[in-house]
Amino acid sequence: MSSSYNEPYDASVLRDGLFVEKSAFVSGAGSGIGRAIVLRLVELGMSVFGTGRRVEMLEETAKRAGGKAGTFTYKPCNVRETEAIEALVREVGEAQGIDLLVNNAGGQFFAPGTQISRRGWDSVIDLNLSAVFTVTKAAHPYLKARRGSVANISLSGVDRGSMGLAHSIAARAGVLGMTRSLALEWAKDGIRLNCIGPGTVVTEGLAVEAARPMLDRLVEATPMGIPTSVEEVAELVAFLASPAGRLMTGQLIQIDGAAHLGPGLHMIAAE
């Protein structure tokens, strides 16, 4: 197994100029997967607006987005502050329209169910489920005007469970149910909604030395033996938003090297 999980990986297959005159709203745009999504969309010509709580992280994304085909603008906001985030979605929708909404802001702490307090449960549900609904609902008129789409960044394994993540899996399973229900309700408006379930993604939080034993364990439990790169997730988001994704809606696409399938009750030994 490779000693570095961060080897450069060129996942780009989509054509330059794909998203010229298109606009996206991306939450959690200041780090990890969200930043990679922003950079790829901007590279493909999009006008991307990003949010997150830490302005300095958004500034860094803006720095890295400079000089590419599209543009990146940003404003900090906490997606859990309902009125503030609704107002921000309206502001962006009125100013530049929304062809693509990426609900990427999220996270949780890892704890066994017996150690999750009611307040801890509520925090994780609020961030990973209720805020996603708030943002998506606020974006509806703008998505409708552009016949746009929504990509919800979820987790691999939402339909099978994961120890230490009862709250987060419950929230993401809720997002999947919401995604499928709104995919039905909004199909008449030409709006598509999908969930993307990355496996282990080596973002800054997971790449620190302290997280290495957990990371090694997660990669070992991944049948393909490699983590998901942020670029692969970004390319999938772009694909789903592209004309090639025209009929894809209400889906959960797991990009995880078969992590959601294993270990399972296998009838032959692994080679």
Ligand X SMILES: CCC/C=C/C(=O)SCCNC(=O)CCNC(=O)[C@H](O)C(C)(C)COP(=O)([O-])OP(=O)([O-])OC[C@H]1O[C@@H](n2cnc3c(N)ncnc32)[C@H](O)[C@@H]1OP(=O)([O-])[O-]
Ligand Y SMILES: NC(=O)C1=CN([C@@H]2O[C@H](COP(=O)(O)OP(=O)(O)OC[C@H]3O[C@@H](n4cnc5c(N)ncnc54)[C@H](OP(=O)(O)O)[C@@H]3O)[C@@H](O)[C@H]2O)C=CC1
Helices (H), 186-259: 204-207, 212-220, 230-241
Judged by CB under 6 A, the residue of 111, 206, 255, 261 near ligand Y is 206
Judged by CB under 6 A, the residue of 70, 198, 245, 257 near ligand Y is 198
Buried b (16+ CB within 10 A) or exposed e, 66-105: eebebbbebebbebeeeeebeebbeebbeebbbbbbbbbb
Instruction: Determine, following the binding rule CB under 6 A, whether residue 120 of this chain makes contact with ligand X.
Output: yes
Residue 23 Cβ, how far from ligand X at the closest point, in Å?
26
Partner touching 31 among ligand X, ligand Y, none, CB below 5 to 8 Å by kind: ligand Y
The residue number with the shortest CB distance to ligand Y is: 32
Judged by CB under 6 A, the residue of 113, 161, 177, 205 near ligand X is 205
Instruction: Determine, following the binding rule CB under 6 A, whether residue 229 of this chain makes contact with ligand X.
Output: no
Judged by CB under 6 A, the residue of 23, 28, 142, 259 near ligand Y is 28
Distances (CA, A) of 4 to 182, 202, 208, 214: 40, 10, 12, 14
Distance CA 81, CA 67 (A): 33
Peptide bond into 263 cis (omega under 30): yes
Distance CA 217, CA 27 (A): 29
Instruction: Determine, following the binding rule CB under 6 A, whether residue 119 of this chain makes contact with ligand X.
Output: yes
Q: Which is nearer to ligand Y, 198 or 257 (CB)?
A: 198
Q: Which is nearer to ligand Y, 18 or 77 (CB)?
A: 77
Residue 269 Cβ, how far from ligand X at the closest point, in Å?
26
How many beta carbons lie within 10 A of that of residue 122, not counting itself?
13
Residue 214 Cβ, how far from ligand X at the closest point, in Å?
9
Instruction: Determine, following the binding rule CB under 6 A, whether residue 38 of this chain makes contact with ligand Y.
Output: no
Q: Which two tokens stand for residue 34?
A: 């969200």
Partner touching 34 among ligand Y, ligand X, none, CB below 5 to 8 Å by kind: ligand Y
Judged by CB under 6 A, the residue of 57, 178, 191, 241 near ligand Y is 57
Instruction: Determine, following the binding rule CB under 6 A, whether residue 71 of this chain makes contact with ligand X.
Output: no
The one-letter amino acid at 262? G
Judged by CB under 6 A, the residue of 32, 70, 97, 257 near ligand Y is 32
Partner touching 153 among ligand Y, ligand X, none, CB below 5 to 8 Å by kind: ligand Y
Judged by CB under 6 A, the residue of 3, 4, 114, 117 near ligand X is 117
Tell me the three-class secondary structure of 86-144, residue by residue: HHHHHHHHHHHCCCEEEECCCCCCCCCHHHCCHHHHHHHHHHHHHHHHHHHHHHHHHHH
Specify the stretch interacting with ligand X by CB under 6 A; choose among 55-63, 65-73, 94-102, 123-131. Answer: 123-131
- The phi-psi region of residue 251 (left if phi > 0; otherwise alpha if psi is between -120 and 50; otherwise beta) is beta
Distance CA 202, CA 92 (A): 30
Kindly list the residues in this chain that would bind ligand X in the complex (CB under 6 A): 107-109, 111, 115-117, 119-120, 123-124, 127, 155, 200, 205, 218
